[in-house]
């Protein structure tokens, strides 16, 4: 429901990694790809890669899972101050101590 509301309100935006993941599906219908490409993309800010590396190191140091793509998605959202809508429970590793806001 959160995704529907965010799309309806025009508040949806995509981290670059999510855009890449979505458009990587060879069976993605063209009309869906066209809609996805209309959404704003969160562009990396200066120092993004350094912050993402530190973020991942902090999560790994706590003996938590920190896949690279998840780290990049989390850092994009943290930098932009936007919440993340996801069903992937691994993102809790970034929310608990690192400032990622998870939306229901």
Instruction: Select the CATH number that applies to the domain covering 2-103 from these four: 3.40.50.1010, 3.40.1350.10, 3.10.290.10, 3.50.50.60.
Output: 3.40.50.1010
User: Which of residues 58 and 98 earns the better pLDDT score?
Assistant: 58
Tell the residue number behind the tokens 């965010």, with chain if given. Answer: 6
**Residue 100 confidence (pLDDT) above 80:** yes
**Helix/strand/coil for 41:** strand
Supply the pTM of this predicted model: 0.88
pLDDT in tens, 16-61: 999 999 999 999 999 999 999 999 999 999 999 999 999 999 999 9
pLDDT in tens, 50-79: 999 999 999 999 999 999 999 999 999 999
User: Among 38, 53, 48, which Cα is nearest to 80's?
Assistant: 48
């Amino acid at each position: 429901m959160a995704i529907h509301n965010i799309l309806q309100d025009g508040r949806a935006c995509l981290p670059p990694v999510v855009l890449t993941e979505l458009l990587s599906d060879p069976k993605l219908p063209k009309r869906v790809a066209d809609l996805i490409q209309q959404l704003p993309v969160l562009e990396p800010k200066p120092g993004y890669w350094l912050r993402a590396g530190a973020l991942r190191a902090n999560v790994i140091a706590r003996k938590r899972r920190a896949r690279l793509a998840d780290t990049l998605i989390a850092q994009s959202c943290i930098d932009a101050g936007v919440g993340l809508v996801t069903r992937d429970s691994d993102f809790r590793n970034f929310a608990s101590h690192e400032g990622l806001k998870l939306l229901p």
